[in-house]
Structure 1
Amino acid sequence: MAFAVTEDDIDELDHVNNAVWVVWLQDVSVAHWYAAAHPDHRDQHGAVVLHHDITYRGNVGLGARVKAQTWIQGLPRGARYTRCVRFEDERGKLLVSAVSQWGLIDRNGRLVRVTPEMAAPFLPPAPA
């Protein structure tokens, strides 16, 4: 996923505001869920952030393009899983990285266990 930096993303220091990186983190995470999750799981569940650990290593200004990558790290534990997100500039320089704890919820907002079937599309293939 890629983001183009607009005027609305820029703060008083003439670079992307820290809050915008959090919005982009949410956007790429939600897009990953919708792209990989089974339609039945998407219809019956959602996810909430439990914790973010964000490291800012660089920044970009107006007009820049930022590439984002996300993946699930390790196996889920109960309702919780770890999502990693990496933002790079057009040359591949790391700008922002995040490790977040997410919780799977049902449509009533209750945390529910991530089943192996739900996790499977997000995990790397098993070695042959």
Structure 2
Amino acid sequence: MTFTAADQHIDELGHVNNAVWIGWVQDIAVAHWMAVAPQQHQDAYVWVVTRHEVDYRGNIKVGETVTAETFIPDPPSGARFDRRVDFRDAAGKVIVSARTTWAILDKESGRLIRVPRDVAAPFGF
């Protein structure tokens, strides 16, 4: 996905605010889930963030664009799945990198569950 910095994304330092980066992490994570997970999984489960770990190596200003790439680096552990998101600037350099941990909930009960094998399978596990 690509993201372009708009006026509302900019902080007092003149570049994208850290909270905006986290929002973009969530946007691409949700888009990945919606693109890969079968509809029956989307209907049955919801993911919640339990941890964000972000490395900031650069930033962008109004009108500049980044390209985001996401992937699941490791198999699930219990109810949790880690996700990586790398944001690259126009030169292709990774300027922000995030590792986030998501936990799966059963929508009907609202409770954490172990990541079912059939849920992990479309993501390569």
Where on the TM-score scale, by shorter chain, does this alignment land: which range?
A: over 0.9
Structure 2 equivalent of residue 113 of structure 1: 114
The runs of at least 4 aligned residues of structure 1 exceeding 3 Å deviation read none
Structure 2 gap ranges (5+): none
Structure 1 equivalent of residue 26 of structure 2: 26
SS for the counterpart of 1:28 is helix
Q: CA deviation at 1:13?
A: 0.6
Give the TM-score normalised by the residue count of structure 2. 0.95
Q: CA deviation at 1:96?
A: 0.5
Give the TM-score normalised by the residue count of structure 1. 0.93
Describe the superposition over 1:57-92 as per-residue Cα deviations: whole angstroms up to 9, x where unpaired: 100100001100101111101111110110111211
Structure 2 equivalent of residue 35 of structure 1: 35
Q: What is the aligned length?
A: 124
Structure 2 equivalent of residue 83 of structure 1: 83
Question: Within 2, Cα distance between the matches of 1:74 and 1:12?
Answer: 37
Structure 1 gap ranges (5+): none
Q: CA deviation at 1:106?
A: 1.1
Structure 2 equivalent of residue 16 of structure 1: 16
Describe the superposition over 1:11-65 as per-residue Cα deviations: whole angstroms up to 9, x where unpaired: 1111000110000000000000000001100011010001111100100100001
Amino-acid identity (%) = 48
Alignment RMSD: 1.0
